[in-house]
Amino acid sequence: MIEVDESTLIRCAICGAVNMDKGKKNICRRCHSSIKDKHFSTQKSWAYLITGMIAYIPANMYPILISTQFGQTEGSTILGGVIFLWEHGSYPIAMVIFFASIIIPVLKFLILIYLLISVKYPLGKDKKVTKHKLYYMTEVIGPWSMIDVFVVAVLSALIHLSMVSIVAGTAVTAFAISVFFTLLSAHAFDARLIKENC
């Protein structure tokens, strides 16, 4: 018989097995993958998040779509595209693009910043369940910001005529990098820290 303290039990992120916390290096007893170190994970999460936020700036400055119509070249940024769609009456699509490329990334930055600060400093101590929900939400809705990148990819593959053509702009790369790094940041964040700091 062994005595186990319930609060020291940890979950393997890969296979979901319950493990005992044995100090610095934890190896899952079922799938033998290493369980991430909770103190190192915050730093990694910050690093990825800051990279994502920096990449988000050029993603909004440079044109994401460059359309050529009868010799006239015109570039449109993410926000410019949304405004164009809104003015032309495509409200649902304008809303989808607005949500996927502006609301979701910004919301993700804010939620991750809030979570990362709150595990270090006493902030919203009594809102444990809300924080877990927030974290889970960022993981679920996060990938949906890729919509804009895919839309650009589809449009540029589809509109390839002699008179009219659409080419992807610089912002696509920046935006894809931004989304990729925020996803990494959310994965690197350890939800265990929410529990411990409440």
Residues near other proteins (CB under 8 A): 1-6, 9-11, 13-20, 29-31, 33, 85, 90, 92-93, 96-97, 128-129, 132-133, 136, 139, 143-144, 146-147, 149-151, 153-164, 167-168, 172-173, 176-177, 180, 183, 187, 191-192, 194-195
User: Which tokens hold the place of 107?
Assistant: 């919301």
Are 42 and 190 in contact by the 8 Å Cβ rule? The answer is yes
Give min distance, CB of 195 to other proteins, in A.
5
Residue 117 CB neighbours (<10 A): 12
According to DSSP, the residues that pair with 37 across neighbouring strands are none
Give min distance, CB of 24 to other proteins, in A.
18
Give min distance, CB of 14 to other proteins, in A.
4
Amino acid at 35: I
Nearer to other proteins among residue 116 and residue 198 (C-beta): 198
Q: What angle do CA 117, 137, 50 make, to 5 degrees?
A: 40
Nearer to other proteins among residue 50 and residue 153 (C-beta): 153
Give min distance, CB of 46 to other proteins, in A.
20
Nearer to other proteins among residue 103 and residue 154 (C-beta): 154
Sign of CA dihedral 14, 16, 17, 19: positive
Give backbone dihedrals phi and psi of 7, rounded to 5 degrees, phi first: -75, -10
